[in-house]
Amino acid sequence: MKKIWMVIALMSLQCFGNEKLILTVGTDSLSAIKAQVSVDLEILKQGDEISLIRLDKEKMFKLSELMHHDFGRCPGFTKYFSEAEAYEDLASLQIKSSVQGLFTLDYKIDQHLLVKPLVEQIDEVSTVQIIAQLSNYPTRYHKSKTGLEAVMWLKSHWESLGQGRSDVTVELVKHRDTPQPSVILTIEGTENPEQVIVVGGHVDSIARGFFGGISKIAPGADDNASGIATMTEVIRVLMSNSYRSNKTIKFMAYAAEEIGLVGSREIAKSFKKAGTQVVGVMQLDMTNFKGSDEDIVLMTDYTNKAQNTFITSIIDTYVKVKWGTDKCGYACSDHASWTNAGFPASMPFESKVKDMNRKIHSKKDTLAVSKNHAFHAIKFAKMAIAYVVELDR
Ligand code: BES
Ligand code: ZN
């Protein structure tokens, strides 16, 4: 027995050694990190909300624990592959507010006649079926065979929804840093095709096994089969009503979010490079766990304030459920990729962070946690379809 522990100790020494990590964390957590994780913490750049730090890799578990217990954040930091990449993100965050000013969208709500019947057709049964289908793959981990199968299934399902429409295309987008492709369904705009509305969420899943390894079982029903199902329901209703769009609408199922926003980062960067005019991004990541009194919680960090306000009006007008606000405290999902690229993004979330679904990133993230229903998720589908159609005017 002693021998086994010695081998494990030696292995972890080999794995972690003295390697340093480049991370961004909430500035409000710096003093706690210094006091409880590492006295010789290096603060590379301290911002008002977010700071860049360098930390020994071996301190990562302690940092996760602190973030989880004292700040209710999970994990509460963003890891970067290089210092250059981290600085690039921080720089774009600092100019974020001025970039937001470039889009003088007037967020009006005046499409009641069009929106109301669409909202009424959002269906719980169709939504729950997609969550079941996706969470039935043992894992959708970005490097796994079943993670690729899930992507291919989604592509053909979206194709079947768009069948017979020459303005609708479904494509796979290959990536540099993951073997998993993303899926994009595009409805080409008729009047202003150069303006693009994005609704997205990640298709991959992850679960941690023993000693921080990757488990082969990761149903990811809430994180994030729920977001993909929510989006798919919006597509289904738009298609069955033969909805033609003025602007271009793109639904995106991102690859490899769980290892560091990989798919969305590459896509958002390529849109920025191409000079594409993305007028709004809605991120759907975790929509089916009702943990709080508030039904829809808008994250206020790494998001666009004006668009968030617009979405709260959309909720009041068409969904009529209770909404609130909260902060992730770090770049917790793909909306951050779009914000970092200078586009207005929002992240409506299923609960307050303190009330979040604690089963995510484990083999227990199943549909059973939500009693095999999608009643929470359909509030997000109603909001998303109203958002798309109102923004499409
Ligand atoms: N769905 C989560 C993000 C999330 C979790 C938001 C809890 C709000 C509350 C997402 O899939 C995720 O796991 N993100 C990673 C960060 C990413 C940069 C690897 C995380 O939070 O660990
Ligand atoms: Zn996750």
Report the DSSP pairing between strands 50-56 and 42-46.
antiparallel
Average pLDDT over every residue of 140-157: 98
For residue 7, how far is its CA from the centre of ligand 2 (angstroms)? Answer: 31
> Global pTM?
0.81
Contact 257, 182 (CB under 8 A): no
Please check the confidence at residue 100 and state whether its pLDDT lies above 70: no
Smallest CA separation from ligand 1 atom 22, residue: 75
Residues bordering ligand 2, an ion, CB closer than 5 Å? 223
Residue 288's pLDDT is 98
Residue type, 171: E
Beta carbon of 249 within 6 Å of any ligand 1 atom: no
Residues catalogued as catalytic? 202, 223, 257-258, 285, 361
261 ligand 1 Cβ < 6 A: yes
pLDDT for position 91:
67
Which of 79, 36, 74 lies closest to 54, judged by CA?
79
Q: For residue 9, report the distance from its CA to the centre of ligand 2, in Å.
A: 28
pLDDT tens digits for 10-54? Answer: 444 444 457 888 888 888 888 888 888 988 888 888 777 788 888
Query: Taking 70 as the threshold, does the pLDDT of residue 341 lie above it?
Result: yes
Ligand whose nearest atom lies closest to the CA of 220 = 2
The predicted pLDDT at position 129 comes to 98
The verdict on whether omega for the bond into residue 224 sits within 30 degrees of 0, i.e. cis, is yes
> Could you give the 3-state DSSP secondary structure of residue 188?
coil
pLDDT, greater one: 51 or 190: 190
Query: What CA–CA distance (Å, rounded) separates 272 from 281?
Result: 13
Answer with the residue of higher pLDDT: 378 or 97: 378
- Please compute Rg for the chain using Cα positions: 21
Q: Which two tokens stand for residue 117?
A: 């019947």
- Cβ neighbors of 235 (< 8 A, separation 6 or more) are 158, 161, 162, 185, 251
| pLDDT tens, residue by residue, 267-319 | 999 999 999 999 999 999 999 999 999 999 999 999 999 999 999 999 999 99
The rounded distance, in Å, linking the Cα atoms of 213 and 292 is: 31
pLDDT of residue 95: 40
Predicted local distance difference test score (pLDDT) of residue 26: 85
Percentage of residues in the chain with pLDDT exceeding 70? 92
pLDDT in tens, 233-279: 999 999 999 999 999 999 999 999 999 999 999 999 999 999 999 99
Domains annotated on the chain, with CATH? 2-92 (3.30.70), 112-392 (3.40.630.10)
Hey, CA dihedral for 103, 107, 112, 113, is it positive or negative? negative
Q: Mean pLDDT, the chain, as a whole number?
A: 91
pLDDT given for residue 79 in this prediction: 82
The one-letter amino acid code at 41 reads: L
Confidence of residue 2 (pLDDT cuts 50, 70, 90): very low
pLDDT in tens, 214-244: 999 999 999 999 999 999 999 999 999 999 9
Min mean pLDDT across 5-19, 149-163, 172-186 is at 5-19
Q: Whose CA is nearest to atom 21 of ligand 1?
A: 332
Ligand 1 atom closest to the CA of 223, numbered from 1: 1
Q: What gap in Å lies between CA 322 and CA 285, rounded to an integer?
A: 19
Q: Supply the pLDDT for residue 161.
A: 98
DSSP at 320 = -
Among positive and negative, which fits the CA dihedral 265, 271, 277, 281? negative
pLDDT greater than 90 at residue 101:
no
Alpha-helical (H) ranges within 163-296 are 226-240, 262-274
Two structure tokens written together for 161: 């929804």
Phi and psi at residue 173, in whole multiples of 5°?
Answer: -115, 120
- Going from the Cα of 196 to the center of ligand 2, the distance in angstroms, rounded, reads 26
Atom 9 of ligand 1: nearest residue by CA position? 353
What is the C-alpha separation between 341 and 292, in angstroms, rounded? Answer: 31
Quick one: which atom of ligand 1 is closest to the CA of 78?
Answer: 18
pLDDT above 90 covers what percent of the chain? Answer: 72
Contact 67 CB / ligand 1 (< 6 Å): no
Instruction: Identify the CA nearest to 336 among candidates 20, 10, 77.
Output: 77
Question: Bridge-partner residues for 277, per DSSP?
Answer: 195
Whether 226 lines ligand 1, by a CB cut-off of 6 Å, is: no
Residue nearest to atom 7 of ligand 1 (CA): 74
Q: Is residue 98 scored above 50 in pLDDT?
A: no
Atom in ligand 1 nearest the alpha carbon of residue 75: 22
- If pLDDT is split at 50, 70 and 90, which confidence band does 78 have? confident
Mutate to test the pocket of ligand 1, among 67, 332, 334, 347 (most ligand atoms within 8 A of CB): 332
